[in-house]
Structure 1
């Protein structure tokens, strides 16, 4: 069933899930929101402690950028590999293994060591966190039919924002009062606690896979098989090759659009506090407040996008408009803000443009995932999402290193060039979302 069919079909075809299933669905969703909060608290430590780490280890901006980019060295590869594995192994156990590895990877850095330990720790952490977002989305969305996926998908993205909003003041306090290694130890310990809770409460839902869901129907019940109640099992449908999914304009458009979002995320996590302090003259406390504004607006944009997209889908709008259109427009507004930022007068206007440019782009994360989830058959979603994540997160490998080089070469002026490059990337990403995304069209082509 395509999104254009949702409005007339919801009440007629979709039985209401039992209350126990609904409670379990939201319990799992809440746990995975916390999972993403921890994931991005891990990522944000280096950016929040950038000045302290550089001073403690005697690093130049280029060396620090290289250490930050090392996080993404295996991030993309593991994202694709584990994405494929998620179509064969229960996501519950993959998510548990990731959380355990996060804590193990950070333990040596929390105890001591120099640049070599920092890089090694970040490489291992990146390998463990690379598949986190697509597998978390796959597990969450397996509890909901297509027309109900926008909100839970957006909440997983909101976990990114909440992770930074909660982590920024807490980790900044730890860094200032107990040193930056204490912040690393804190996020490692929280990862262990989450893993213990997930063993008891985690799992996958009734829409994880099966003949019904593989063909796009939302008529599955909570039997756990994904097949419609009362329908005799037929011959297994022919599996769609991954290469056909990855060649669709929708997958390509969603991936390009999401790449722009991840570029902004990498910039914000690694260099935004330094940009605010070194180029715009903010204090450490003032830069933390602006960072929280950026991520706060990102959370509002994610929830607002989910509400608007869901409303459009329920009114029968095609996904091309409801998902590609909404996500594309947000990216273009963010692009315009970034392109205007370097020439804006200092003061309130600078803050408004910076918050809009870095905050609005985040909503595309949710759009890209729900779009690819709609497009791909259930038994190919893990791989389709994993490959998308692998391509997208190369932005995290490129952006920190490039920005560090620009800062070392041009000083504070290097940040101006970095913001303009970010605006150009967002402009291309928004155009791709508006012109290429159409899961209804491409889903029909895949089914033939």
Structure 2
């Protein structure tokens, strides 16, 4: 007697979706996340101050301030494949055009337009993963997917300085465009929406207008936005300042300093997976894990304010520590965002929370650069990040209680 073949489980495809979303995230953020590693080359090639260098990061993040909300609404109506894929294509075309930019103002404009495309990639990839994974595995899945950002940054930090040294800073934008285009092609070719779950009651949609009123005022969303804005400031502070800090304060050459930034970003990728998986398994896991990250980054940056922070070995160890927690928080945090909203408002919730983060992303890099330029020291910059994180930690703990 011949036994019938066991039907294939369609939900196994979730691991393909997770891999594709992770790769696309890394590819789309490749250049912008690696700007810090070529900060010295950009300063020399374009005669920039530290403030102007920070503005390059802000230019790429300005459009998502409004674009993330629009993308979130669009994602609740349109297949993620096209939203994410077209967004990554826009990033690719803009970065390729940036290789022809005649100077600093044109480069700012190119990065601004690239940010419009990136507005779709970040929430779109998160929503695609959230749709395929249930709550018991969502933290781990989100952590793996969000590890794409520091992984892409680490790859960029390893490759872009060599490209800039050999071919000039323009070649780094062309490389970033090629990576983004590859990410777009992979996502559009491989992404599928999840099958409809059989059995069980249909999930009730949110009332009309819920996402704009009740969601914004809910204690969970308030905690999410307060903790997110403080920790994203630390993340971008580490990304932009690590090479400059090690070069100017710890007297390391640019090459070894860039390698330490790579190590910090790899630690961040590991942190996003480990911390997100941990948040699946402990009571109050999402909030407790994010709060632990806030405490850890405060401790690390405090060390950088002491004389020990000027030692190359100590500074390197602390910056890797900050990479693990200062990047790793995003995995459990974005899982908390996905779970804070009704099923048909997930896209909007992701866009809303990420838009709040954009305020810090836009303001912090040039502000840190201005503090360093005016004071001639990194102390005010680290002090500002400590103050922001401590304030958010106390505020979210009070709301939690």
Query: Same fold, TM exceeding 0.5?
Result: yes
Residue 68 of structure 1 aligns with which residue?
Answer: 57
TM-superposed CA distance for 1:294, in Å, is 1.4
**Paired position in structure 1 for 2:210:** 241
Maintained 8 Å contact 2:30/2:179 = no
1:53 and 2:53 matched: no
1:36 Cα deviation (Å)? 1.4
Give 1:237 deviation, angstroms. Answer: 6.4
Equivalent residues of 2:203, 2:343 under 8 A apart: no
Rounded to whole Å, the distance in 2 between the matches of 1:129 and 1:425 is 26
Shifted more, 374-383 versus 334-343: the winner is 334-343
Residue 19 of structure 1 and its aligned partner are, at CA, apart by 4.6
Structure 1 residue corresponding to 2:223, chosen from 244, 249, 253: 253
Provide Cα deviations, 1:195-239, integer angstroms capped at 9, x if missing partner. 22222211322xxxxxxxxxxxxxxxx4x2x5x5275x7996644
Matched, 1:311 2:274: no
Aligned ranges 1:82-101 → 2 under 5 Å = 82-101=71-90
- For 2:156, what is the secondary structure of its paired residue? helix
* Aligned equivalent of 1:407, options 372, 377, 380: 372
- Map 1:341-352 → 2, pairs under 5 A: 341-345=304-308, 346-347=310-311, 348-352=313-317
Q: Partners of 2:98 and 2:115 in 1: how far apart? A: 14
Unaligned runs of 5+ in 1: 1-17, 206-221, 439-448
Counterparts of 2:204 and 2:214, CA distance in 1: 22
1:101-149 Cα shifts (integer Å, max 9, x gaps): 0011112211241012111111111222134222211111101111120
CA shift, 1:389, in A, is: 0.4
| Structure 1 residue 334 corresponds to structure 2 residue 304 | no
Cα distance in 2, alignment partners of residues 369 and 47 from structure 1: 24
Q: Give the direction of change, closer, same or farther, for the CA distance of 1:71–1:423 in structure 2 (3 Å limit).
A: same
Unaligned runs of 5+ in 2: 1-6
**Could you tell me how far apart the structure 2 residues matched to 1:328 and 1:355 are?**
19
Q: Secondary structure at the match of 1:149?
A: helix
Identify the residue that residue 213 of structure 1 maps to in structure 2. none
1:378–1:401 CA distance, 2 compared to 1 (3 A): same
Q: Describe how 1:291-440 pairs up with structure 2 within 5 A.
A: 291-312=261-282, 317=283, 321-345=284-308, 346-347=310-311, 348-411=313-376, 413=377, 415-436=378-399
What is the CA–CA distance in structure 2 between the aligned matches of 1:308 and 1:19, rounded to whole Å?
Answer: 30
Asked if residue 287 in structure 1 is aligned to residue 250 in structure 2, the reply is no
Cα offset, 1:373, TM superposition: 1.4
Contact 1:53 1:180 survives alignment (8 Å)? yes
Report the more deviating stretch, 38-47 or 241-250.
38-47
C-alpha separation in 1, matches of 2:350 and 2:203: 27
* 1:436 Cα deviation after fit: 3.6
- How far, CA to CA, are the matches of 2:208 and 2:348 in structure 1? 13
Structure 1 Cα separation of the partners of residues 285 and 49 of structure 2: 45
Structure 2 CA distance for partners of 1:143 and 1:247, relative to 1, 3 Å:
same
Aligned counterparts, 1:127-206, within 5 A: 127-205=116-194
**Partner Cα distance (2:36, 2:322) in 1:** 19
What's the RMSD between the two structures over aligned residues?
A: 2.2
- Alpha-carbon distance in structure 1 between the residues aligned to 2:361 and 2:133: 30
Tell me how far 1:50 sits from its aligned partner: 1.6
List per-residue Cα deviations over 1:406-441 (Å, max 9, x = no partner).
Answer: 122122x1x111011112222233334544459xxx
Structure 1: distance between partners of 2:285 and 2:187: 33
Distance in 1 between residues matched to 2:148 and 2:215, nearest whole Å: 28
Aligned length: 393
1:288, 1:431 → 2: CA distance? 34
2:160, 2:372 → 1: CA distance?
25
Contact 1:336–1:357 (8 Å) recurs in 2: no
Q: 2: CA distance between counterparts of 1:301 and 1:200? A: 29
